[in-house]
């Protein structure tokens, strides 16, 4: 077999990636170390700069204190105010002042020298001598004329405090820089008579840091409060704005280099102390760690590359053997083209084998499920004639047999329309099938805890055979009730439908399952009697069954009479008594229940025949009493159907009776309007009904009161007599039933709007 190089490449790339991970980790460690060193140097420089700022502030405060002491010295004040030429007394005062200055200078180690310049006599007084200014600066101090003139110019110029940096040559010829703090005298006055000059050696700057600290500080700059560069440290810069920052630390580019600028500003003096550290300072500190990291990475890469080479060869050897085995066993040739590698070849070969096996298994499962379903259905129907013992058949279908005895539980799903209600495409039949599958899985799993169980969907129900262990048979009712409650709760919570269960007696598995199934079918029919019952036990029906049903002939006649009279309430009370006598005390066999339903349907038909007469066929077709009564699923539906039929018939009877009464009232008034004694009481007595009922019924049917109707009929008859006869008004009033002429005229005008005489004359309202 040709070796596939693609696998080698894939594995090699994987190993290289693994090699790079430690390298990347080393670079990350180096980067972290660089960041730590950078932070340490930055924080260290920041601390040095802050210390320098504090020390400088203390030096300036000390200088100001000395200046204040000198300014209040009476001897110095007298020399400043004296305009006389040099005298012996003046020289004496100068010596005293030198002695005082010596005391001042001894208390501060940073003060290299300080002296007083007297402008009026052009003298300098130091802690040791008093000399003319030119002699002191040029001869004794070795200062250049340029620096001397600069000092004298500042000392005699603008009043206030000034800072000046000068070069000074010592007795060995070494040139150093000194910082001069010049304060004009008298302090606070506009007229300048002299100045006190305090010299601070440049070396004070390095007094608080060793050589290593000064190296890591980089370039150091000091700016006064007006942001002017003080060349104390010897560092120069053409534009101080390049190093001025807003924060304490900032990284930026300066003259093309990456630098870190560290700043501290004095609150008291307003000076800026700035350290500019080049990035190379950090790199110099990291040089040694950098070399160590590079060396370790190189050694690691070399060793790992050698190890990877041997591991690659070692790991590929089993794969090559596996490909050879699969090729020989599967009978498939390995194509080493670009489209296939060893893994793809093995995957395709295994997929082919697994697919073929799954197809065979699926066919076997389908056949086995079909055979199992047919066997269990024949077992329950009692048509199992294979000759093979039931136990062996159950074992062949991998059904555990816990005992030789068991019960059958018949399940009828309810409210299956709630199952997957959001799936509109599902039909009710499909939902019922899904409900039976769900019930089979859940119920079989739950009931198997007490023995063994198998289920089968049959006739729209689920029949579950539970084989209980012998020790659990006495408490089977409690166990099965608990299992059914648990199953109903699980199904209700997760799928939204319920079920009714019928449970048989205990029977032998070999020859009693068909009997148990018939018992459950018989028990299931009783849901028509008690639809509220969720569990129907066949043993309960056997104990409480009655031999007949209660529906005597007198009750049937009573119902017919009450319905024919339109008395719905009394008729429903009689029917309620019949239902109560039959269904509340004992269980009635289904044959008797069906007989009772046919008897009630027959009663309804007889009643309709008596009430509707020749129209009974039409009414029966619209009401369909037999179909409605015999098609009821339970007693509640039967009661509702009978009540609805009663209501329909009674309403018709009542409506027809009311129309007949109103017709009789109108006919009686038309025939007896001339009777002066005609009244509501006379009419009610004639019709054999109560006067109030007569008035209410007539008004409800016609919208007119009965007395108003009598008056209307009489006035209509009077109008005819007024137009067609020559009778007097009084004669006409008597003829239409009024005994009083005034009453007749008042009623006539109320109805017609004119008097009888005006009506006869042709005047109408």
The position carrying tokens 């009598």 is: 710
CA distance 487 to 502: 14
List, as one string, the DSSP characters of 648-696.
HHHHHHHHHHHHHHHHHHHHHHHHHTT-TT--HHHHHHHHTS-HHHHHH
CA nearest to 507, candidates 454, 451, 467 = 467
Neighbour order of strands in the sheet with 229-230: 229-230, 219-223, 272-278, 257-265, 249-254
Looking at the structure, do residues 493 and 393 belong to the same domain, yes or no?
yes
**CA distance readout (Å), 726 to 717, 720, 734, 740, 752:** 14, 11, 14, 19, 20
Residue 292 has pLDDT above 70, yes or no: yes
Q: Is residue 172 part of a domain?
A: yes
Average pLDDT score over the chain: 76
Tell me the two tokens of residue 454.
């198998």
Tell me which of 58-62, 156-160, 319-323, 327-331 is least confident. 327-331
Q: What is the C-alpha R_g of the chain?
A: 64
Q: Is residue 459 part of a domain?
A: yes
Mean pLDDT for 83-100 is 79
Pairing of strands 194-201, 507-508: unpaired
Tokens of 127: 């802690």
Place 1 in a pLDDT band, splitting at 50, 70 and 90: very low
CB-CB contact of 377 with 408 (8 Å):
no
End-to-end CA distance of the chain: 128
Average pLDDT estimate for 171-181: 74
* 482 and 561 assigned to the same domain: no
Minimum mean pLDDT among 66-80, 159-173, 583-597: which range? 583-597
Given 3-state DSSP classes, what are the helix, strand and coil percentages for the chain, each rounded to the nearest 5? Answer: 60, 15, 25
115 pLDDT above the threshold of 80: yes
Cα separation, 608 vs 611, whole angstroms: 5
The 10s digit of each residue's pLDDT in 368-377 is: 777 778 878 8
Domain final residue pick, 155, 172, 206:
206
The answer to whether residues 495 and 392 belong to one domain is: yes
Using CA of residue 571, residue 572, residue 575, residue 580, what is the dihedral sign? negative
3-state secondary structure 50-106: HHHHHHHHHHHHHHHHHHHHHHCCHHHHHHHHCCCCCCHHHHHHHHHHHHHHHHHHC
pLDDT above 90 covers a percentage of the chain that reads 0
- pLDDT of 2 reads 44
Please report whether residue 6 resides in a domain: no
Residues 643-658: tens digit of each pLDDT: 777 777 666 656 655 5
Query: Distance between CA atoms of 605 and 616, rounded to whole angstroms?
Result: 9
Strand, coil or helix: what is 276? strand
Neighbours of 636 (CB within 10 A): 15
Same domain, 680 and 625: no
Q: Is residue 293 part of a domain?
A: no
* CB-CB contact of 575 with 647 (8 Å): no
The last residue of a domain, from among 483, 509, 536: 536
Contact assessment for residue 397 and residue 377, using Cβ atoms and an 8 Å cutoff: no
In a domain, 306, yes or no: no
For residue 521, the model assigns a pLDDT of 82
Same domain, 467 and 408: yes
Length of the chain: 765
* 3 state DSSP class of 181: strand
DSSP string, 697-721: HHHHHHSS-HHHHHHHHHHHHHHHH
Is the Cβ–Cβ distance between 263 and 255 less than 8 Å?
Answer: no
Instruction: Specify the higher pLDDT residue, 518 or 364.
Output: 518
State the pLDDT at residue 614. 52
Model confidence pLDDT, tens digit, residues 295-342: 887 887 788 778 777 777 777 777 777 777 777 776 666 665 555 677
Each residue's pLDDT tens digit, 566-607: 666 777 787 777 777 776 655 566 566 667 667 776 777 776
DSSP state, 545?
A: B
b/e map 687-718, b = 16+ CB within 10 Å? beeebeebbebbeeeeeeebeebbbebbbebb
Q: Which CATH number do you get for residue 724? A: 1.10.10.60
**What one-character DSSP code corresponds to residue 268?**
T
Q: How confident is the model at residue 4 (pLDDT cuts 50, 70, 90)?
A: very low
Domain that holds residue 649: 553-657
* Residue 727 belongs to some domain of the structure: yes
CATH number at residue 439: 3.30.70.270
Residues 104/66, Cβ–Cβ less than 8 Å: yes
Q: Are residues 383 and 514 in the same domain?
A: yes
Q: Do 84 and 127 sit in the same domain of this protein?
A: yes
Q: How many CA atoms lie within 13 A of 561 on its CB side?
A: 8
Identify whether 718 is part of a domain: yes
- Do 104 and 198 reside in the same domain of the chain? yes
Nearest one of 165, 162, 155 to 185, comparing CA atoms: 155
Boundary-marking domain end, from 501, 536, 571: 536
- For 84, phi then psi, to 5°, come to -80, 155
Number of domains in the chain: 4
How confident is the model over 420-438, as a mean pLDDT?
A: 82
Cα separations (Å) of 467 from 437, 447, 453, 458, 747?
20, 9, 6, 19, 95
The whole-angstrom separation of Cα 39 and Cα 672 is: 128
pLDDT in tens, 382-425: 777 767 777 777 777 767 777 788 888 888 888 888 788 777 77
Tokens representing residue 160 in the block: 């206030």
Residues 371 and 499 in one domain: yes
Q: Are 532 and 411 within one domain? A: yes
For residue 469, give the 3-state DSSP assignment.
coil
Q: How far apart are CA 566 and CA 657, in angstroms?
A: 9
**How many Cα atoms within 13 Å fall on the side-chain side of residue 287?**
5
> Using CA atoms, how far apart are residues 653 and 646, in angstroms rounded to an integer?
10
In this prediction, residue 198 has a pLDDT band, given cuts at 50, 70 and 90, of confident
For residue 437, give Cα distances in angstroms to 152, 377, 406, 457, 661.
115, 16, 22, 8, 65
Rounded to an integer, what distance in angstroms lies between the CA atom of residue 743 and that of residue 736? 12
For residues 508-520, average pLDDT: 83
Residue pair 493/383 in contact by the 8 Å Cβ criterion: no
Pairing of strands 257-265, 249-254: antiparallel
Q: Are residues 373 and 494 in the same domain?
A: yes
Neighbours of 134 (CB within 10 A): 13
Statement to judge: residues 144 and 192 lie in one domain: yes
- DSSP secondary structure code for residue 286 in this structure: T
Indicate if the pLDDT at residue 211 is higher than 70: no
The reported pLDDT for the residue numbered 217 is 62
Rounded to whole angstroms, how far apart are CA atoms 141 and 180? 14
5 contacts: CB under 8 Å, gap ≥ 6: none
419 belongs to a structural domain = yes
Asked if 495 contacts 502 with a C-beta cutoff of 8 angstroms, the reply is no
């Amino acid at each position: 077999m040709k070796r596939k190089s693609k696998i080698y490449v894939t594995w090699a790339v994987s190993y290289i990636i693994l090699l790079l991970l430690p390298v990347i980790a080393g670079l990350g460690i180096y980067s972290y170390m660089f960041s730590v060193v950078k932070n340490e140097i930055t924080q260290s420089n920041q601390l040095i700069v802050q210390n320098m700022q504090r020390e400088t502030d203390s030096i300036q405060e000390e200088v100001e204190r000395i200046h204040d002491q000198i300014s209040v010295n009476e001897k110095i004040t007298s020399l400043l105010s004296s305009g006389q030429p040099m005298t012996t007394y003046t020289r004496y005062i100068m010596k005293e002042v030198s002695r005082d200055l010596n005391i001042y200078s001894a208390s501060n180690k940073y003060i290299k020298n300080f002296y007083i310049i007297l402008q009026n006599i052009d003298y300098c007084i130091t802690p040791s001598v008093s000399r003319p200014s030119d002699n002191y600066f040029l001869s004794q101090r070795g200062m250049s004329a340029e620096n001397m003139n600069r000092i004298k110019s500042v000392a005699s110029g603008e009043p206030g405090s000034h800072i000046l940096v000068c070069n000074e040559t010592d007795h060995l010829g070494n040139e150093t820089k000194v910082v001069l703090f010049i304060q004009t005298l008298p302090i606070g006055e506009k007229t300048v008579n002299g100045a006190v000059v305090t010299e601070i050696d440049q070396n004070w700057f390095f007094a608080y840091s060793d050589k290593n600290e000064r190296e890591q500080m980089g370039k150091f700059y000091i700016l006064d409060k007006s942001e002017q560069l003080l060349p104390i440290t010897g560092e120069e810069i053409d534009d101080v704005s390049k190093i001025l920052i807003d924060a304490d630390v900032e990284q930026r580019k300066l003259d093309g280099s990456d630098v870190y600028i560290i700043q501290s500003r004095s609150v008291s003096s307003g000076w800026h102390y700035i350290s500019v550290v080049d990035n190379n300072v950090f790199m110099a500190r990291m040089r040694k760690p950098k070399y160590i990291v590079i060396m370790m990475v190189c050694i690691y890469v070399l060793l790992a590359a050698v190890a990877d080479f041997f591991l690659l060869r070692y790991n590929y050897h089993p794969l090559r053997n596996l490909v050879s085995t699969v090729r020989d066993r599967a009978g498939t040739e390995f194509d080493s083209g670009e489209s296939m590698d060893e893994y793809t070849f093995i995957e395709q070969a295994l997929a082919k084998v697994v697919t073929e096996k799954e197809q065979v298994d699926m066919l076997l499962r389908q056949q086995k499920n079909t055979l199992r379903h047919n066997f269990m259905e024949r077992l329950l129907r009692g048509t199992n004639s294979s000759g093979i013992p039931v136990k062996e058949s159950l074992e062949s279908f991998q059904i555990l047999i816990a005992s030789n005895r068991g019960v059958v539980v018949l399940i009828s799903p309810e409210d299956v329309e709630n199952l997957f209600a959001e799936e509109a495409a599902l039909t009710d039949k499909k939902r019922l099938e899904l409900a039976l599958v769900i019930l089979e899985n859940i119920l079989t799993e739950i009931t198997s805890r007490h023995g063994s169980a198998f289920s089968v969907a049959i006739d729209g129900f689920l029949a579950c055979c539970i084989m209980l262990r012998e020790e659990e048979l006495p408490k089977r009712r409690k166990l099965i009730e608990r299992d059914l409650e648990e199953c109903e709760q699980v199904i209700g919570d997760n799928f939204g439908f319920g079920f009714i269960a019928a449970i048989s007696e205990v029977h032998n598995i070999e020859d009693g399952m068909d009997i148990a199934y018939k018992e459950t079918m018989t028990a299931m029919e009783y849901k028509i009697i008690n639809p509220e019952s969720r569990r129907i036990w066949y043993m309960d029906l056997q104990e409480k069954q009655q031999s007949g049903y209660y529906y005597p002939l007198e009750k049937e006649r009573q119902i017919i009479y009450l319905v024919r009279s339109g008395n719905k309430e009394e008729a429903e009370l009689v029917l309620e008594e019949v239902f109560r006598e039959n269904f509340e005390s004992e269980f009635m066999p289904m044959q008797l229940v069906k007989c009772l339903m046919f008897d009630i349907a027959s009663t309804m038909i007889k009643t309709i025949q008596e009430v509707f007469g020749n129209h009974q066929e039409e009414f029966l077709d619209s009401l369909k009493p037999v179909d409605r009564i015999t098609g009821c699923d339970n007693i509640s539906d039967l009661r509702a159907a009978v009540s609805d039929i009663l209501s329909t018939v009674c309403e018709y009877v009542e409506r027809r009776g009311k129309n007949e009464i109103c017709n009789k009232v109108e006919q009686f008034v038309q025939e007896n309007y001339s009777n002066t004694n005609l009244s509501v009481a006379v009419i009610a007595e004639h019709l054999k009904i109560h006067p109030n009922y007569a008035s209410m019924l007539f008004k409800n049917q016609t919208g007119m009161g009965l007395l108003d109707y009598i008056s209307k009929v009489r006035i209509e008859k009077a109008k005819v007599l007024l137009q067609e006869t020559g009778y007097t008004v009084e004669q006409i009033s008597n003829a239409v039933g009024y005994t009083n002429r005034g009453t007749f005229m008042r009623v006539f005008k109320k109805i017609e709007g004119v008097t009888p005489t005006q009506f006869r004359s042709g005047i109408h309202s």
